[in-house]
Structure formats: C-alpha cells, structure tokens
Amino acid sequence: MSFAELGLSDHLLQALSEKGYQVPTPIQLAAIPAVLEGRDVMAAAQTGTGKTAGFVLPMLQRLAQGPKVRANSVRALVLTPTRELAAQVEDNAEYYGRHTQLTTEVVFGGVKINPQMQRLRGGVDLLVATPGRLLDLHSQNAVRFDQLEILVLDEADRMLDMGFIRDIRKILKLLPQKRQNLLFSATFSAEIKELAKDLVHNPVEVSVSPENATAHTVEQWIIPVDKSAKTRALIEVIKRNSWFQVLVFSRTKHGANRLVAQLDKAGIKAAAIHGNKSQGARTRALQEFKDSDIQVLVATDIAARGIDIKELPHVINFDLPNIAEDYVHRIGRTGRAGSVGEAVSLVSLDELDLLIEIERLTQAKIEHRELEGFAPNNPLPEVALKAPRKPKKPKTTKPATESSKANRTPTSKNSRPQRKPRPGSSASSEKPSGDKPQNQRRRRRPKPEANGNR
C-alpha cells in the first residue's frame, strides 16, 4: 500500500517523495489511518520503525484542516523525554509540513527560555517539548492549551524512567478534556499501562513488533570475554571486521571517556557523548559520526536516546545495561526502518545476571560466538530461558521538576527565515552546566547518568 492510498494530502505526499520514502513502514500503515480518523492510538513501537512519521503525518493533515492557531496557543503537542529526540521529531515535522502553512516549534530545557517565549507568541500549530520546560513556559503564561486538539507522548517508557510522571500528570491537567491522544512506547510496563488507562480512550492498539522484542532486522550475538580483555576485544572486533560507523555503548560516562582514549591510541578515531558533555560537544560528535569523520561513537544510554542515523550498521555493547529494557533501546539504534544491522555484546561472567534478565525480557536466547584469541578464563555459561516476569504493581515516583532554565533559538519555517540551531549549536549559547536541572530529579532506577539530556 502506498502513502497516497493511506489518504494523505498532496502536500504531504510531495514532502515524502522529496524525502525519498517510497512505501509506508508497518507502524505507518497501522497508525496513519487511525490518527486520520481521529482515534486515540496506543502503539508499541521502538525507535527505528518509522514511528515519528506514523504520528506526525496524520497530525499535520488534521491540523491543516482545522482553525488558525491563536496567539500563544498550541494545537498539537508532542512530549518527548530528551532534547535530542524533541529536536529530531520537530525536524521531521518541519520537513513533512514544508508544503503546508503549518508552523512547528520545539522547546526544551538547558537553554535560555526567553527566545522560546518569543517564538511561541504568535501561536504554534505543532509544538514538540520536553515536559519540564513546557511547564516552565506555561507558568510564565507563554503557552496556552485551550486550542489543543492532539497530544502525543513519544517514548513514554523513557519519560517515566526519567522521572517525568509528575510533570506529565501536571500537563494533562492543563489540557482540554476533549482531545485526541497518541501514546508511543518501546516497552509496555505496568506503569505505562497505568498511565495509558487515564490517557487514551478506546484506543486503536498497534504493535509493530511483539512487546519488548528486539528489531528482527538486527543480527545479535554475544562474545563471551573476560572483563579485563574487553577493551582489546572491542578493538579486535572493529579492526577484524573493518567496521565503520560503530556505536559503542558504555554504562558509565567515565567508561565512555576511557574507551575513547584507548580506541584513539589503537588508531580508531572515536568520540564520546554523555551527560557530562555540553550540548555543543554532543551535537558536534554526532555530526562527525554521521559524516563518517569518526569511526566510533561511544555513548551512554541516556545520551544515545534520540540518535537517528539512517541504517546504522553496528552497535557494540561494551557492557550490558543495568536495565534489561535499555538493551532493547540500544539495539533499536541499528537495523532502523528495515535495514539490517548487527548488535554485538561483550559479556563477562559478572554480567551473567544482566544477560539472563535481557533474555527473559525479550524471550529470546542470544547466540554466543567466541572471538578467536579471546576465549575467557571465566567461561560464560549458557542458561535456559526464564519465563517472562509478571508486571509489577506500579510505583509512585517522587516529585520532580525540570527546572533547567534556558532555550534555543529556532523558528517556525513560515515566519522566520533563519535555520533553527539544533540542540547544542553555538547559537543556542548553552553551557555544559546547562545540561543539569537545578533540582536533581530522583530516578526510580539505577542510572549512572542522572542528568542525561533532558
């Protein structure tokens, strides 16, 4: 089925053709007609499936049919957990809507707030926001929701993991009761289901891959290796396979920095992105990686969120994540939108429990492949797959306020000529310290990087 057959307008079809999309992905096939009909949608779709276009395209079409936006008002709101994802979603929305008269904007913390207030003054058809900054803007009367028609929670699981539940509930109270709600999440924990109960009404349920399953276009395997040999093994894997554009995951920021130094020493050009790096440094590293100026990008889980690189071929888990769901997110970085990727995990015996939890969550065994010359002294046993966990009772989180003050300087495409600086560009005048919220947000789960990139 083509995009035209889904009922999208000529303006949107033109943008899609310019973007080079030929056929809709499964999530788009399922979500676009439902959103066009005005239905609520609850979708289990990880990043890489084409989910953004799945909600943005039909939203733009609906918005194009509605009334003109009033001053300081917003007609559709997309909430995302991180700035990178917010910027990326808005980039897509701006592109898809380029032949329409609709305005799009993005606001997030860590940059100055005043320019954002100015940009909201004329009203915005589609606003992408991180929750804390949106509340800040609302408390300063810079944004109104009385015209709001559509709400999207994107990567809802990650928003809850990052402690945004209170902010989200506060925002929900500010919105008109009658609206269309779209909920996207890679995983559906008991807590997400609880949130969904209050949010979506009689939703169309869409699942493009089984709950908590990893993208099947990704070939995954484990290299059993001693902890002390991991760095050498990493270098060996990259060199032996002549891999370029490798995204390496490190559990900690220090680990990421150390790896970059060791890779550089081995003649492999690398850079790190994590919460201690300024937005500018992160954006630069990402751009160099996209442009293939560096071979390896070492990232922590939070910083990697929202990275969208087409057909990213290789992901290596230098260490396994503490949270099994993060494995699914990491793997979602490769094999995007139907391309085939490889995901390799270097696993030492001390990580066996983490591995068992990952296999239990995804309900799939991951193949072990020894790396020649790296057979571990402490072998990694093959453990039988455990039955899936029963959902836990949802826990309540502590109050959390995103209070990072600041902004970026973007524009809406119709009214302002200059290009929006992406998060971290020099025009947004951020400082590394701007990454940190003033009040430390309490996370529910262990996380080495408490203030990632909100």
Q: Per CB under 6 A, which region of 20-28, 69-77, 205-213, 226-234 contacts ligand AMP?
A: 20-28
d(CA 81, CA 129): 9
Q: How far is the CB of 337 from ligand AMP (least distance, A)?
A: 3
**3-class SS at 221?**
strand
Binding residue (CB under 6 A) for ligand AMP from 8, 41, 44, 52: 52
Q: Per CB under 6 A, which region of 51-59, 140-148, 226-234, 271-279 contacts ligand AMP?
A: 51-59
In order, the DSSP letters of 417-429 are -SPPPPTT-GGG-
d(CA 409, CA 419): 9
Copy the structure tokens of residue 142.
Answer: 């810079």
Binding residue (CB under 6 A) for ligand AMP from 6, 8, 15, 25: 25
Q: Per CB under 6 A, which region of 18-26, 139-147, 186-194, 264-272 contacts ligand AMP?
A: 18-26
Nearer to ligand AMP, 210 or 373 (CB): 210
Binding residue (CB under 6 A) for ligand AMP from 8, 11, 21, 303: 21
Answer for the pair 155, 16: CB distance below 8 angstroms, yes or no: no
E-strand ranges in 336-395 read 341-347, 367-368
Size, binding site for ligand AMP by CB under 6 A: 15
86 is an interface residue for ligand AMP by CB under 6 A? no
Q: How far is the CB of 445 from ligand AMP (least distance, A)?
A: 24
Nearer to ligand AMP, 245 or 403 (CB): 245
109 is an interface residue for ligand AMP by CB under 6 A? no
341 is an interface residue for ligand AMP by CB under 6 A? no
Q: Per CB under 6 A, which region of 24-32, 254-262, 355-363, 407-415 contacts ligand AMP?
A: 24-32
Nearer to ligand AMP, 31 or 238 (CB): 31
End-to-end, the C-alpha distance of the chain in Å comes to: 38
Taken in order 189, 87, 252, 276, the sign of the CA dihedral is negative
Q: How far is the CB of 52 from ligand AMP (least distance, A)?
A: 3
305 is an interface residue for ligand AMP by CB under 6 A? no
d(CA 107, CA 417): 18
Angle, alpha carbons 121-125-128 (nearest 5°): 90
Query: Which of 110, 87, 90 has the alpha carbon at shortest distance from 452?
Result: 110
Residues contacting 409, CB < 8 A, separation 6+: 111, 115, 420, 421, 427, 428
d(CA 389, CA 444): 18
Q: How far is the CB of 21 from ligand AMP (least distance, A)?
A: 4
In order, the DSSP letters of 137-190 are HHHTT--B-TT--EEEE-SHHHHHHTT-HHHHHHHHHHS-SS-EEEEEESS--H
336 is an interface residue for ligand AMP by CB under 6 A? yes
Angle, alpha carbons 423-451-308 (nearest 5°): 40
Q: Per CB under 6 A, which region of 50-58, 150-158, 278-286, 344-352 contacts ligand AMP?
A: 50-58
Binding residue (CB under 6 A) for ligand AMP from 126, 237, 238, 337: 337
d(CA 86, CA 108): 8
48 is an interface residue for ligand AMP by CB under 6 A? yes
Q: Per CB under 6 A, which region of 21-29, 62-70, 113-121, 397-405 contacts ligand AMP?
A: 21-29
Nearer to ligand AMP, 57 or 233 (CB): 57
Backbone angles phi, psi at 73, to 5 degrees: -95, 165
Q: How far is the CB of 152 from ligand AMP (least distance, A)?
A: 12
Site track 270-299 with ligand AMP (rule: CB under 6 A), x = hit? ------------------------------
Binding residue (CB under 6 A) for ligand AMP from 6, 47, 119, 275: 47
Q: Within positions 27 to 46, which residues make up the interface with ligand AMP, using CB under 6 A?
A: 28
308 is an interface residue for ligand AMP by CB under 6 A? yes
Q: Within positions 53 to 72, which residues make up the interface with ligand AMP, using CB under 6 A?
A: 53
Residue 212's region, left for phi above 0, alpha for psi from -120 to 50, else beta, is left
Max distance between CA atoms of the chain, in angstroms, equals 68
158 is an interface residue for ligand AMP by CB under 6 A? no
Nearer to ligand AMP, 50 or 81 (CB): 50
Residues contacting 31, CB < 8 A, separation 6+: 41, 43, 51, 54, 55, 58, 182, 204, 206
* Interacting residues with ligand AMP (CB under 6 A): 21, 24-25, 28, 47-53, 308, 310, 336-337
